Every structure is written in structure tokens, then in C-alpha cells.
Amino acid sequence: MKGDAQRWAELADCMLVIAREIQFRGYKDPRAVSLTATEGMVMRYMQDHPIAAPKQIAAAVGLQRSNLSTLMAGLERRGLIERTMSEGDRRGVTVRLTEAGRRNYMIVRREWAAAVAKAAENDTRGLEGTLGLLKDIAAGLIAMRPETPGRDMSRAEA
């Protein structure tokens, strides 16, 4: 790899290290509920969509609908979401973000912010540009997401 490709690889590598280090730290606040990366994706989606159908959630976070049920049961046991029968269709389920789920997200984001700011020695130079780039990358990766998780065989290297 040379030039830009190498730099993009370094950026991806750094993003993976940062995500792992944030998750590895755990939380100081005893009210914080630790989540797996996938549970975190669901809860992040629920912040902007506090009432959603499981099908919507699965599609938004790139999960198979069948895998979501077990994950939802765990979030529900911890009081972060509630699942109820849909009012219009008794066979359907509606997922609702609870106040505990909203509060947990605020608590962990506050701790993430403190950890990242400290790691960067509170140097905010370039922060806006970095945020913009990372948001663009996140949106682009989501838009390019394959229909099923795993290796995209259409682009397998020769």
C-alpha cells in the first residue's frame, strides 16, 4: 500500500484502536450499564428513534432480525428498553427506549468525552474537521453496508 491508501488504512486502524480502548476502560459512574458493541449500536439508534419496530432497528444497525430478539431481551432485562405488543397489530412488537436507556447513554457519552479529551490533552485544534470527516465515513460505510454481515465476496481479492 502506498500514499493515500496507506493513510486511509492507518485511519481505519486508529478508529478500531480508539473504539476498543473506549470500550475496554469501563465506566467510573456506578449507574453506567456496560454494553457490547452491538448493544451499543442498538441503543445509539434508539436515542434518535425512541419508538421503533424490531425490523427497523435490525435494518438500521445491520443485524439479522432473528439475532435481534436475544439482544433485545438482554436490554429489556437491564431496563434500557421495553417491548410491547403493537397496538394496531397484536402480532407485532414495538420497542420503546426507557428513561434508564436515555440516561445511560448520557452517562456513558459523558465518560467517553472525558476520556477522549484527556487522551488528546484537551487539544481541540482540528476537532471540527475530524468530526466532519468521521461522520462522513460513518454515513458512507453504513450506505455501503452489504446485505449480510461478513465478507463481501463480490470484492474478494484475487
Break the chain into its structural domains and give their ranges.
3-145
* pLDDT given for residue 65 in this prediction: 80
CB-based contact 100:16 (threshold 8 Å): no
* The C-alpha cell that represents 124 in the structure block: 481541540
Give the C-alpha separation, 145 to 158, whole Å: 22
Q: Does domain 3-145 have CATH number 1.10.10.10?
A: yes
Structure confidence by residue, pLDDT tens digits, 19-53: 999 988 889 999 999 999 899 999 999 999 999 99
3-state secondary structure of 95: strand
The mean per-residue pLDDT over the stretch 76-88 comes to: 90
* pLDDT given for residue 92 in this prediction: 84
* pLDDT given for residue 152 in this prediction: 59
All residues at 6 or more sequence positions from 96 whose CB lies less than 8 Å from its CB, including other chains: 50, 51, 81, 82, 83, 84
Is residue 150 pLDDT above 80, yes or no?
Answer: no
The mean per-residue pLDDT over the stretch 122-146 comes to: 95
* pLDDT given for residue 91 in this prediction: 72
Is residue 147 pLDDT above 80, yes or no?
Answer: no
Encoded amino acid at 118, one letter: K
Is residue 154 pLDDT above 60, yes or no?
Answer: no
